[in-house]
Structure 1
């Protein structure tokens, strides 16, 4: 039997500025035209993608883009490589560019670093998920020459006798970035000792979005204050996976769910405080829906007793 549940939403969770801006731009454009194409899922949350589909947003891929002409296409917050802009210009496609300003600034830094790298025989290394839209956009600034790393095995792609400039996907874990940075530093020292010369340089740039990274300490505190944590996120969200692990590290009774349909009644037995939080791609309306569902479960359970 469940006790008297107090259900609280973490109001620091939910959309970051970039995602909120992109969705607002999409909705504004659909109000005018009724239909809009979007290059990839506008946000890594199937529930929100479905809601926007019903308003007229149609998700396309790069092959679809090549076949389109004389229409409007939204560039989502993740940003795009230069090739996308070239195709749009050739096909008379009007781009509604909702790239996050933080991502655009990082793209510029990566391009400048790559241009410099060409003169000093260096390497651009990006800590991120290969194939992720933002990483694809960053790699595009290097003409596809960046080395993408996520774990130890990826470090084998780096030539440790040459200078390294390191960046991070904006939504990755701060801890993960500094772990990779330390491992690269250690490998450069090993290479230096083997060659009995001077170590190649490492220029590490912590390019993680602070609006994202600042959520980690807040989520640690939020997780500590509740008996059960319901982390609401799309399964495709890299940010969601990282922030969920933050909750799990502090509270073992943390559960990753996409919607209220995945709730298990046994999670709430003998507890009093339920905390609901989510990723930067989780809409507030979805967390509210989960909260209402939990409160209704409690009400029905008490009525049936």
Structure 2
């Protein structure tokens, strides 16, 4: 049996940058605080915990004084920086540049639209760290939509400016855009004055380009094992791509979750993962499979 790791899987630039910053800092100190999981992968969080990275939540942040805190790639709302100033915290800001640019765009759009009774709408996962940071740019007035049912929250007689969480599915974003436009048109047909939708595709292309790449990868293997943390929004979206093109696709968090029955009749197995999946973890999964199904001479 041949076991192949997808060369396009693994950390995106933002996650890689944040982890490198954490490791560089931990070379100098024995303990470093991080606001939230540095990455949505429990195995990597544990590896860095062993090096001295301590995960805290926002309530714990309020209690800290005179120490260093890492801001992960997801970015943070303005309130976090205000807390840091108040508590004399040194922030090691590893916010992804793509996320920071989007935060600025959302803030500018909010400042422009609020005088016209407009709405900032964020297509993303409610409660996701990146979405919290984006909503914070609007004083938490942004409307977060995840499913079609969430579209009932919007007022279609008011201006709507739409953005997306950077790691959401491109297909999902354009579907939401289409549905909003349909509702705007329906209101316009009643004779009411309405405004055209201002839609902004803010999905990271380093992430979205993985969908077509993964589509091809999954088709070329009898069985696909997708390795990701269960909390990863990006992982769920990319795993759905694998399942769509290859029904023999399985989601695991680590090698312990493998079922060797999956590979009984397979000659080719593909290992892939999310933008939050470290390459060393995919290698562990590949090695575990190969150990049970050695390549025939």
Q: What is the TM-score normalised by the length of structure 2? A: 0.98
The aligned counterpart of 2:291 is 296
What secondary structure is seen at the aligned counterpart in 2 of 1:33? coil
Number of the residue aligned with 1:90: 86
Q: Provide the rounded CA distance (Å) in 1 between the counterparts of 2:88 and 2:194.
A: 50
Q: Which residue of 2 aligns with 1:214?
A: 209
The answer as to 2:19 corresponding to 1:17 is no
Is the 2:157–2:193 Cα contact (8 Å) retained in structure 1? Answer: no
Indicate the residue corresponding to 2:113 in structure 1. 117
Structure-to-structure mapping, 1:90-109, within 5 angstroms: 90-109=86-105
- Unaligned segments of structure 2, at least 5 residues: none
Tell me the equivalent position of 1:204. Answer: 199
Give 1:265-280 correspondences, 5 Å limit.
265-280=260-275
- Match in the other structure for 2:36: 40
Residue 54 of structure 1 and its aligned partner are, at CA, apart by 0.2
* 1:171 aligned partner: 167
CA distance in 2, matches of 1:114, 1:107: 10
In the alignment, is the contact (CA less than 8 A) between 2:79 and 2:136 conserved in 1? yes
C-alpha deviation, 1:33, in angstroms = 1.1
Q: How far off its partner does 1:265 sit?
A: 1.2
CA distance in 2, matches of 1:92, 1:269: 58
Instruction: Measure, in 1, the Cα distance between the counterparts of 2:159 and 2:15.
Output: 35
| Alignment match, 1:129 | 125
RMSD: 1.0
Query: Alignment length, in residue pairs?
Result: 296
- 1:30 is matched with 26
Greater shift, 96-105 or 155-164, is seen at 155-164
The answer as to 2:240 corresponding to 1:239 is no
What secondary structure is seen at the aligned counterpart in 1 of 2:293? Answer: helix
Decide whether the 8 Å contact of 2:157 with 2:192 is kept in 1: no
The equivalent residue for 2:57 is 61
Deviations 1:283-305 (A, max 9, x none): 00000001111110114x98xxx
What CA distance in whole angstroms lies between the structure 1 residues aligned with 2:266 and 2:127? 41
CA distance in 2, matches of 1:217, 1:96: 34
Contact 2:41/2:276, CA 8 A, preserved across alignment: yes
Partner of 1:96: helix, strand, or coil?
strand
Question: How far is the alpha carbon of 1:20 from its aligned partner?
Answer: 0.1
Separation of aligned partners in 1, 2:274 and 2:64: 33
Is the CA contact (8 Å cut-off) linking 1:162 and 1:201 kept in structure 2?
no
Structure 2 counterpart of 1:51: 47
- Offset at 1:199? 3.0
Q: Secondary structure in 2 aligned to 1:8? A: strand
Shift of 1:227: 0.3
User: Secondary structure of 2:51's match?
Assistant: coil
**Which of 143, 146, 149 is residue 150 of structure 1 equivalent to?**
146
Q: Deviations over 1:241-273 (max 9, x none)?
A: 000000100000000000011111111111100
Structure 1: runs of 5+ lacking an equivalent: none
| Native 8 Å contact 1:38 1:60 kept in 2 | yes
For 1:265 and 1:212, the matched residues in 2 are separated by 30
Deviation, structure 1 residue 277: 0.2
Structure 1 stretches of 4+ with a deviation exceeding 4 A read none
Cα distance in 2, alignment partners of residues 118 and 286 from structure 1: 46
Query: In 2, distance between residues paired with 1:68 and 1:146?
Result: 29
